[in-house]
Every structure is written in C-alpha cells, then in structure tokens.
Amino acid sequence: MLINKPFFQFGLVVLTVLALPFFLRSGIMASEILIYGMVVAASNLLLGYTGLLSFGQGIFFGTGSYLAGIVLTRTGVPVGLMLPMAAVLGTVIATLVGGLSIRRQGVYFVMLTLAFSQLFYFLAYTFSDLTGGDNGLLDVPRPMLNGEQLVDPWSYYAYVGVCFVLVFAAMLLVTQSTFGRTLIAVRENEERAAAIGFPVRVFKIAAFAISGAVTAFAGALHAMLIGVAPLSSIEYHTSEIILVMTIIGGSSSLYASVLGASFYLLMADTLSSIWPRWLLLLGLVLVVVALFLQKGLWGLVEKIYALLTHNRIPPEVEPSDLGTDTTAKGE
Amino acid sequence: MTQTASTTDALVTKGLGVSYNKFVALADVDLNIRENSVHSIIGPNGAGKTTLFHALTGRVRPSSGKITLGGRDITNLSDNERVRRGIARSFQVTSLFPDLSVHENLRLAAQGRTPWQALAMWRRAESNHEAMATVDEMLARLSLTRVATRAAGELAHGQQRRLEVGMAMAARPRVILMDEPTSGMGIDDIETMKDLIQGLASDHTVLFIEHNMGIVMNISDTVTVLRLGRKLVEGPPAMVRDDPEVKKAYLGNMITGDIA
Ligand SMILES: Nc1ncnc2c1ncn2[C@@H]1O[C@H](COP(=O)(O)OP(=O)(O)OP(=O)(O)O)[C@@H](O)[C@H]1O
Ligand SMILES: [Mg+2]
C-alpha cells in the first residue's frame, strides 16, 4: 500500500512538523506531540515489528529525562553532546532490561518488563541525591542556539522538529533494512525464524536497544521542554500511556505511532479542560479500538485509502492461471 | 536410487536419546547417514521420528548421546548454529511466515545462513545478491515463480508444502531433513515431491520421514525403522520391506500407501 511506503511515510512526517504550528496554539503541545511520536514509534518497533509487548518503555523515557536533568544542571556538557549520551544510556539499559525479559515468553515476558518498570521507579525514588526523588530535577535548561536559549516554545519546537525528522528517517531506514525484515519474520513465526538460522534472541535484544535509544533521546528532549526531569517520567504510568498510544495508533506502519500520540495528547488536553473524569472517555476509546479497530487509527486510514483507490488486494493469479498450474489440482 | 552415494558419513549419532520430562521418546539411536544418500525414517505414529529430527536440528536437547556432522561434534550447538554448519529442515506441520510473500519467505531462509549480516540496520534486504539469486532458483525449482508475490498463507496446500521444503533448500544445507514432505498432498503433488526429493540427492544428503511407502521404497538408499523410540531395523528398502519385525510393528497399519 502506497501510504505505508517509506518515502510516503517520510513525507507525512515532514508534513506533520510543518503543519502542527498552523493547527495548534501551544508550542509546548506541538513539541510534546513530536516527542511522544518518537517514543511511540520506538514502542511500535517492539510491538508492531517484533511482536514484543513491553511495559518497560517508561524506564527508557525516564532514563533520558534524568540524564538531561543531571547533565544539564550539574555539568557543563552541552546539549549537543548530552542527547547522544542519552541515546547511549538508553541503549545500555534497554539491552539489559530487554536481554533479561526476553528469556521468558508471552505473559512472563510482559510481567518481567512490568517488574523492571517498578524496579526502576523505586530506584529513582530511592536514589534521591541523583534524581531529586519526589521533586525530580528542576530548572533543566533548554538548548542554546547562536548564543541564545530557545525560551520561546515555538523556537524549541523547531529544534525538536529537526530531531524528530532525523530520528524518524533513521527508524524508517531500520524497518526497511534486512534487520527490520528479520524482526517481522520473528513476529510472524519465531520458531521458523530460529529454524532457518536466525539467533532470535539477539535480534530481539537489538530491537530493544534501538527502542531504548530513541525513547531515552526523546525523554531528554521532554525534560528540556518542560524544564523538569520529574519522577513521573519513569513511573509505570508513563509506560502504560506509551502502550495505549501505540495501540490506539496501530502498528502496521511507523507513522501510525504519530497518529496515536497526537490523538491521545490532543484528546487528553481537550477533554481534561472540560471534564475532570476524562479518563473514563479514554477507557471507552480503548474499548472501541480493541473491539472494532484492531489495527488502530492507522488501520482506519488504510481502509479509507483502500476505499478511495479501490485498492482491495488485487488477485495476482488469475483463476485460469491456476488451472494450468498442475500443483493447484487435488486441493 | 542414487548411485552417487559415497562411503563417508555426513551425519552420525551415537546412543542418541531424548526424554520429555520422564517420558523417553527416543533411546539409544545410532545412525550413520552417508554423504549424498537418500535416507528415510519410517515407523508408526508416535515412534519418535519427529523427535529425532528435533534432536538433530537442535530444537530439543538430547538427554544422552552424541551427534557429529562431517566428523565434528555438534551435540551442544544451538539450532541456528547448526544451520550455519549445514543442517536445514522442513516441518511436519507447515511452518511458514504466512503474511509474508513467497519470495520473502525464501529470501529469509536464504539469509538465515549468514544471519549476522542481517543485523546491519542500514543495508537493504535486496542488497544480498546471493540470497536473491537463491530465491529465484528455488522459485523455479519449486514451480512457485508465478505465485512469488502472493502471501504464503494464501497458497494451496500442495504449494505450501513445496514452499516448506523450499525453506530448507534455500539454506543450501549439506544435510536436508524433511518431516513428511508429502503429508496431506494429492496424487499429482506427491509425484512432483518425489522427483524433487530424488533430485536433491545430487548436492545434498537427504534424510526424510515419510509415511508413503511408495516413495520410501522407491527412492531411498537406506531405510531406518523406528518403534517406541528405538531403532528396530535398518537397511536397503527391499530388506526392510520383507522384515517380519517391521511387518509386526505396522500391524493394522499396513505398509501400503499413505498411512498418515
Ligand atoms: N513436547 C513433547 N512433550 C511430551 N511428549 C512429547 C512431546 N513431543 C512428542 N512427544 C511424545 O513423544 C512421542 C514421539 O513423538 P514424535 O512426534 O517424535 O512421533 P512421530 O514418530 O513423529 O509420530 P508421527 O508419525 O505421528 O508424526 C509421542 O508419544 C509423543 O506423544
Ligand atoms: Mg512426526
């Protein structure tokens, strides 16, 4: 399908960055959408591409957030160096968490990621000298550009926008590579993937590593956006939100994740201002998605696109063609 | 029957045994699979044939015994390491990537021989020309070229079974293991499969499990009969067919046609 082709997806990504300022009044909100777009895409790499439901994404997000807080408030390291550091630390921790969790399968795998999520929350809470405990780390500065700090939300939005486009391009490349195609094979039939020679565990850990790198990178951007590295970044609740966004968006393409993140954040923003019990509505949305829209919002887009272009899986073998194929007999 | 079968052994097992918890599914199996021979494994349902394949491919850990491939001990190697050493298999119950195209199924199988290359996150899948050439060759050999772009799960049963065998062939293994390649096939498909298996012996060592005695007796160099996890008889087809023990083992389950 054309809309799932990498160049089209990349076009959508660029378009999103350019269009958000025209539709949203808050630069903070727009930046948050891009940041979560990356985070959810990273979660999608695990869920949609590899078939791994990770409840541990908040760990990596919090890791990036704390790294930004610690490095930017206590050392003179510039943002340009801090961001790669966040990605590296995210890789290391995700390799650890992923490597241990994938030793079990199915429900036990999910439970392990959940357990790690709790563990890291308590670690952050306990080591308050490093993390600020309940208060988090305050006064995380925004990056400097040409000697000026990006205080204005929309100028920081531009900064995040560039990061977003670059990260997305890299992730699209990864999903198109032999590596990405192998991940899909693992999701489709893990037993067969192992039987044809792939060390499945290594591929799963590598998927975690990339996911962790992107998530931590985005976590660092988020800390600079809100000026705080809060304890809530590493809470189990963050992992949950990331998963909810991933599922709402759908997992048949990477851009689905941007859709999921935007939908969630915009809905939360609009609803919470008119009704304090808005989470109830979110619950309803999830029920609807789980019951009727299992491919998420992107699945809906795919359906609409197919209707518009009459692109209903074209039969590639004509019935007459089958008749001449001796193997089709006896079925 | 193949005349090319040499006298060296490709795959050897000594005292091979597999237990599932306390249940002994395979015990004390000694096998010598000659290089480039066609060797079939037969036996009643539950005899341990598939279990033997699991042990040979590293899917299950043997509880006793030793496996050597080309003289080298592979008993403790993982399943994917054994593929790199030259063992590939097809499954009794078709196991494909159903949503992926036939072409992609074979490409993955061809790539599986050099899996570390596939960790390259920047390299396009199609840049592995060797694998791409293998895919085209397999498609032609399996007469699947016309359905190359179809999802594997949409194929007719006979085509799926051929693709299943193709997944093993695409690894260009030294020893190819096929678990009931003809199961559930119609007459015409069986004949095609028989020719395919026979043709494999020119550049592979072929080990296959089969219930169709027509094929077994027709194309095997050696037949091994398993019963209750143990080797009952072994020898050339004519000898095995006439063995009274074998006839007893198959009682009520006569060795004619498709028993599955
Ligand atoms: N994972 C398992 N756990 C426990 N028992 C098993 C397992 N797999 C197979 N068995 C048992 O081991 C015995 C041998 O099974 P196996 O599948 O090897 O037989 P087979 O010779 O391939 O039979 P068939 O002709 O029906 O395919 C059977 O009794 C079976 O029930
Ligand atoms: Mg079997």
Instruction: Judge: A178–B117 Cβ closer than 8 Å, yes or no.
Output: yes
Q: Is A198 a residue whose pLDDT tops 70?
A: yes
Residue owning the nearest CA to atom 2 of ligand 1: B20
Distance separating alpha carbons of residues A290 and B14, to the nearest angstrom:
53
pLDDT at A311: 54
For chain A, the domain total comes to 1
A331 inside domain = no
* Nearest residue to B88 (alpha-carbon basis) of B166, B193, B177, B164: B177
One domain, residues B221 and B110: no
Instruction: Judge: A195–B97 Cβ closer than 8 Å, yes or no.
Output: no
A321 inside domain = no
pLDDT at A321: 39
State whether residue B78 sits within 8 Å of chain A by CB. Answer: yes
Mutate to test the interface with A, among B92, B97, B192 (most CBs of A within 10 A): B97
* Strand-pair category, B38-42 with B222-227: parallel
Please report, for the domain that includes residue B207, its CATH number.
3.40.50.300
A281: left (phi over 0), alpha (psi -120 to 50) or beta: alpha
One domain, residues B7 and B60: yes
One domain, residues B186 and B144: no
Is B25 a pocket residue for ligand 1 (Cβ < 6 Å)? Answer: yes
- Tens digit of pLDDT for each residue in B238-260? 888 888 888 777 755 554 444 33
Mean pLDDT, residues A227-250: 92
Confidence of residue A317 (pLDDT cuts 50, 70, 90): very low
> Which residues in A lie closer than 8 A to residue B196 (C-beta atoms)?
none
B112 inside domain = yes
Mean pLDDT, residues B130-149: 94
Mutate to test the interface with A, among B59, B121, B150, B165 (most CBs of A within 10 A): B121
Where in chain B does DSSP place strands (E)?
A: 9-20, 23-34, 38-42, 64-69, 72-73, 87-90, 175-179, 205-209, 222-227, 230-235
- Tens digit of pLDDT for each residue in A250-271? 988 999 999 999 999 998 888 8
A329 inside domain = no
C-alpha A320: how far from chain center: 46
A324 inside domain = no
State whether residue B202 sits within 8 Å of chain A by CB. Answer: no
Structural domain that includes position B106: 97-168
- H/E element, A174: helix A153-176
Distance separating alpha carbons of residues B250 and B237, to the nearest angstrom:
15
pLDDT at B253: 54
Beta carbons of A131 and A231 less than 8 angstroms apart: yes
State whether residue B251 sits within 8 Å of chain A by CB. Answer: no
* Nearest residue to B156 (alpha-carbon basis) of B192, B209, B110: B192
- Tens digit of pLDDT for each residue in B67-100? 999 989 999 999 999 999 999 999 999 999 999 9
* Nearest residue to B115 (alpha-carbon basis) of A172, A184, A179: A179
- Ligand 1 atom closest to the Cα of residue B51 is 18
One domain, residues B123 and B148: yes
One domain, residues B49 and B158: no
Residue owning the nearest CA to atom 25 of ligand 1: B45
Choose which residue among B16, B42, B49 to substitute to test ligand 1 binding: the one with the highest number of ligand atoms within 8 A of its C-beta: B49
Identify the domain boundary among B122, B137, B168.
B168
Q: Which residue has the higher pLDDT, B187 or B107?
A: B107
Q: Is B5 a residue whose pLDDT tops 60?
A: no
Map tokens 């193949």 to a residue. Answer: B2
One domain, residues B177 and B139: no
Name the pTM for this structure. 0.90
Structural domain that includes position A289: 2-312
Q: Which residue has the higher pLDDT, A285 or B138?
A: B138
Mean pLDDT, residues A183-201: 95
- A147, with CB counted inside 10 A (0-12, 13-18, 19+), is exposed
One domain, residues B177 and B158: no
Tokens of A189: 């039939």
Long-range contacts of B52-56, Cβ-Cβ distance < 8 Å, separation of 24 or more: B52/B16, B52/B18, B52/B26, B52/B226, B53/B89, B53/B177, B53/B179, B53/B209, B54/B18, B55/B13, B55/B16, B55/B18, B55/B26, B56/B11, B56/B13, B56/B87, B56/B89, B56/B177, B56/B207
One domain, residues B219 and B162: no
* Strand-pair category, A148-149 with B230-235: unpaired
Please report, for the domain that includes residue A59, its CATH number.
1.10.3470
Choose which residue among B16, B49, B51 to substitute to test ligand 1 binding: the one with the highest number of ligand atoms within 8 A of its C-beta: B51
A319 inside domain = no
B196 inside domain = yes
Confidence of residue A128 (pLDDT cuts 50, 70, 90): confident
For chain B, the domain total comes to 2
A7 inside domain = yes
For A192, the closest of B97, B120, B192 (CB atoms) is B97
Is B44 a pocket residue for ligand 1 (Cβ < 6 Å)? Answer: no
Mean pLDDT, residues B207-236: 91
B91 inside domain = no
One domain, residues B78 and B60: yes
Q: Is A322 a residue whose pLDDT tops 70?
A: no
* Residue B92 Cα to ligand 1 middle (Å): 12
B7 inside domain = yes
Kindly report the average pLDDT of chain A as a whole number: 89
A243 inside domain = yes
- Tens digit of pLDDT for each residue in B169-180? 999 999 999 999
Q: Is A33 a residue whose pLDDT tops 90?
A: yes
Is B256 a pocket residue for ligand 1 (Cβ < 6 Å)? Answer: no
Instruction: Judge: B98–A189 Cβ closer than 8 Å, yes or no.
Output: yes
pLDDT at B6: 58
Instruction: Judge: A173–B57 Cβ closer than 8 Å, yes or no.
Output: no
A132 inside domain = yes
User: Which residues are paired to B33 by β-bridges?
Assistant: B11
Identify the domain boundary among B135, B168, B201.
B168
pLDDT at B40: 95
CB atoms within 10 A of CB A114: 17
Is B50 a pocket residue for ligand 1 (Cβ < 6 Å)? Answer: yes
Identify the domain boundary among B168, B193, B212.
B168
User: Residue A177 carries which DSSP code?
Assistant: B
One domain, residues B134 and B186: no
Is B153 a pocket residue for ligand 1 (Cβ < 6 Å)? Answer: no
The vertex-A326 CA angle with A325 and A330, nearest 5°, equals: 120
One domain, residues B177 and B164: no
pLDDT at B186: 85
Choose which residue among B16, B50, B216, B259 to substitute to test ligand 1 binding: the one with the highest number of ligand atoms within 8 A of its C-beta: B50
Mean pLDDT, residues B202-217: 91
Beta carbons of A104 and A226 less than 8 angstroms apart: no
Asked which of A7-11, A74-78, A81-85, A202-206 is least confident by mean pLDDT, the reply is A74-78
Instruction: Judge: B158–A194 Cβ closer than 8 Å, yes or no.
Output: no
Q: How far is A60 from chain B (nearest CA, A)?
A: 21
pLDDT at A146: 79
For A188, the closest of B99, B121, B150 (CB atoms) is B99
Beta carbons of B176 and B204 less than 8 angstroms apart: yes
| ipTM given for this complex | 0.90
One domain, residues B30 and B113: no
CB atoms within 10 A of CB A55: 22
B9: left (phi over 0), alpha (psi -120 to 50) or beta: beta
For B146, the closest of A194, A325, A329 (CB atoms) is A325
